[in-house]
Amino acid sequence: MAEETTLLRTSSVSKRFRGVVALSDASIRLEQGEILGIIGPNGAGKTTLFNVIAGAMRPSSGSVIFRGRDITRMAADRRLRLGLARTFQLMKPFVSLTVYDNIVVGATGSGLSKRRARARADEIVDLLDMGRIASRSAGAINAVQAKRLELARALSAQPVVVLLDEIFSGLRPDEVDDLAAHVRALPSRGQTVMMIEHNLPAIRSVSERVLALSAGAVIREGSPADVFDDPEVVSSYLGKRSRPAH
Ligand SMILES: Nc1ncnc2c1ncn2[C@@H]1O[C@H](COP(=O)(O)OP(=O)(O)OP(=O)(O)O)[C@@H](O)[C@H]1O
């Protein structure tokens, strides 16, 4: 394995909550410049994987290595400063602030001065075509715009790796296309992406490599076509009474 191109990896990570095994011996690697999709039915362990990688939770066993450094026990805010940012499935913008100021807050959280944070926010607003909503109250934007703000907030930290948690869920196909174009452009800006997604057409349109989790374990890894059609992957979704629609 080409270790020098591996930006982030988990090594035999397990996470147990009392009787529940949320992650079981999961070893995952994220290569420099890729967009890796993580799929799996409800309860497969996807969010737990993100929590362990981003520092919201410690694994019961195993380790997380980022740029060659063991960050398993490092606090989330230090990981952010090292270049590991995430979006949240449940977005909680500061509703009393404008969209723009929410992005500034994200940038200051990554350690920038106010002045540099504003310059970063200006860049992100341009990058994600958010000019029309920048001065609106974050409490007055719609769900699609809120997704974009969540992405903007994560990017404001200028991360090396960005973890996207279901940013395409609930979007119409045209809205997916619009946001997907921005996600596809991230590697050319030096940003590597790992994304959890139930929206399989969205994954197919942005990632070359997909990894399927079921009951906390990695069951398949490969191209979207190979993984989506794999019988074990299909049956893991059917077992949960939901089919990977693609
Ligand atoms: N804090 C917790 N306490 C107890 N059990 C938990 C906790 N967090 C997750 N679990 C359990 O761990 C398992 C994996 O949950 P997780 O949220 O990681 O799955 P997921 O793949 O993200 O699901 P979804 O697609 O529904 O978001 C589930 O059985 C869940 O109930």
For residue 162, pLDDT over 50 is answered with yes
pLDDT number for residue 170: 87
pLDDT number for residue 91: 72
Distance 200 CA to ligand 1 centre (A): 20
Banded pLDDT at 116 (limits 50, 70, 90): very high
Please indicate, yes or no, whether residues 62 and 98 belong to a single structural domain of this protein.
no
Q: What's the whole-number mean pLDDT along residues 103-129?
A: 93
Q: Is this complex's ipTM strictly greater than 0.90?
A: yes
The pLDDT > 70 percentage for the chain reads 96
Please indicate, yes or no, whether residues 241 and 176 belong to a single structural domain of this protein.
yes
CB distance 242 to ligand 1 below 6 Å: no
- List for the chain the helix, strand, coil content (%; round to 5): 40, 25, 35
Q: What's the whole-number mean pLDDT along residues 155-163?
A: 94
CB distance 53 to ligand 1 below 6 Å: no
Q: Describe the crossing of helices 173-184 and 143-155 by its angle, rounded to 10 degrees.
A: 10
Query: What does the block give as tokens for 113?
Result: 């001065």
Please indicate, yes or no, whether residues 65 and 135 belong to a single structural domain of this protein.
no
Q: Looking at the 3D structure of the chain, how many domains does it have?
A: 2
d(CA 137, CA 135): 7
Range of the domain at 112: 93-158
- SS3 call for 83: coil
Structure confidence by residue, pLDDT tens digits, 97-114 = 999 999 999 899 888 899
- Of 142, 158, 174, which residue sits at a domain end? 158
Please indicate, yes or no, whether residues 3 and 71 belong to a single structural domain of this protein.
yes
Please indicate, yes or no, whether residues 224 and 238 belong to a single structural domain of this protein.
yes
Residue pair 20/33 in contact by the 8 Å Cβ criterion? no
Please indicate, yes or no, whether residues 136 and 191 belong to a single structural domain of this protein.
no
10, containing H or E segment: strand 6-17
Banded pLDDT at 233 (limits 50, 70, 90): very high
pLDDT number for residue 3: 52
Please indicate, yes or no, whether residues 57 and 70 belong to a single structural domain of this protein.
yes
Please indicate, yes or no, whether residues 152 and 178 belong to a single structural domain of this protein.
no
Q: Alpha helix (H) ranges present in 140-228?
A: 143-155, 173-184, 200-206, 224-228
- Of 139, 158, 177, which residue sits at a domain end? 158
d(CA 23, CA 53): 12
Banded pLDDT at 137 (limits 50, 70, 90): very high
For residue 49, pLDDT over 90 is answered with yes
Give the number of the atom of ligand 1 that is nearest the alpha carbon of residue 23.
14
- Of 158, 174, 208, which residue sits at a domain end? 158
d(CA 43, CA 37): 17
Banded pLDDT at 241 (limits 50, 70, 90): very low
Structure confidence by residue, pLDDT tens digits, 168-195 = 998 999 999 999 999 999 999 999 999 9
Q: What's the whole-number mean pLDDT along residues 105-130?
A: 93
In the predicted model, what is the mean pLDDT of the chain? Answer: 92
For residue 95, pLDDT over 50 is answered with yes
Residue pair 86/154 in contact by the 8 Å Cβ criterion? yes
Structure confidence by residue, pLDDT tens digits, 77-90 = 999 989 999 998 77
Q: What's the whole-number mean pLDDT along residues 127-141?
A: 94
CB distance 40 to ligand 1 below 6 Å: yes
Q: Does the residue 88 lie in any domain?
A: no
Q: Which residues, in sequence order, are CB contacts of 196 under 8 Å at separation 6+? A: 38, 39, 46, 47, 49, 50, 89, 163, 164, 165, 166
Residue nearest to atom 31 of ligand 1 (CA): 43
